[in-house]
Amino acid sequence: MKSQLKQIVLIFISRFKEMSKKTSTEGKILEAAYRLFLGKGYRHTTMDDIAQDLGMSKKTLYKYYPGKLDLLSGSFEVLKTKMTAKVEAILDNRYISFPLKLKSMLTVIATHLAPINPELFEDLRDHAPEIWEELTTYINESAYLRFAKLIEQGAAQGLVNPRLNTSLIVMLYAAAIQSLLDPKFSSQFPEALQKGMKIPPSEIYDQAISIIYNGILTDEARNEFQNA
């Protein structure tokens, strides 16, 4: 009996190690693929590139993921899981103030979405429409709805102007970010303005947040504007 039990335990341990190794390998593959997608875009990244980056054969890579689209989908699932966990943790934390929650949430959103450069967004829309739709749906239904929930918390605490419409606050932020990162939107403007926008996506997020929530005026000018 003891011998059988020992054998069962050994089999369980062996299978657990195999599963852990498989999970670890899959994680490394997705990390490498996502890094290449961000750097080269979806179209210009090949399975050969990913296998070479990982130092494994393409045959081994295909054992884990049957194609590039599966890698793209898996990469964004990891991204969404990380974002959701961090945003939920911020919302549920009763020990930090509303302004800190607001700053923290916007930082989390920017940190995870800013690296997705406009070219990759365009690649997704044109060459992986299902994943593009899943990602935009997630951002709209998850990130922005949670953001709205936070604004409502601030209003209840008297820290957000109650006259302002919560949906409008969130939509202004969303519209600004989505438009600024969309090459088709920026291409409508004069070339001089387009050249002036050659700044990193992370800077776009930071400045958009600052303009929307702090305004463009200095304290002195803001007082004069309000009293005009």
Decide if 175 contacts 207 (C-beta within 8 A).
no
Alpha-carbon distance 207 to 188, whole Å? 21
Q: Greater confidence, 193 or 6?
A: 193
Mean pLDDT of 103-130: 83
Local structure of residue 220 (DSSP, 8 states)? H
Q: Greater confidence, 10 or 159?
A: 159
Please name the residue ranges forming H helices in the chain: 2-40, 47-54, 58-64, 68-92, 98-113, 118-127, 129-138, 144-156, 166-180, 183-186, 191-196, 201-214, 219-227
Per-residue confidence at 6, pLDDT binned at 50, 70, 90? very low
Report pLDDT for 11. 44
Q: Greater confidence, 185 or 149?
A: 149
Report pLDDT for 228. 62
Decide if 104 contacts 96 (C-beta within 8 A).
yes
Decide if 110 contacts 206 (C-beta within 8 A).
yes
Per-residue confidence at 222, pLDDT binned at 50, 70, 90? confident
Is residue 180 over pLDDT 80? Answer: no
Report pLDDT for 5. 45
Is residue 45 over pLDDT 70? Answer: yes
Q: Greater confidence, 49 or 173?
A: 49
Q: Greater confidence, 173 or 73?
A: 73
Is residue 53 over pLDDT 60? Answer: yes
DSSP assignment of 137-193 equals HHIIIIIHHHHHHHHHHHHHTT-S-TTS-HHHHHHHHHHHHHHHT-HHHHTTS-HHH
Q: Greater confidence, 2 or 150?
A: 150
Average model confidence (pLDDT) for the chain?
80
Per-residue confidence at 132, pLDDT binned at 50, 70, 90? confident
Confirm whether pTM is higher than 0.95.
no
Per-residue confidence at 3, pLDDT binned at 50, 70, 90? low
Alpha-carbon distance 141 to 170, whole Å? 12
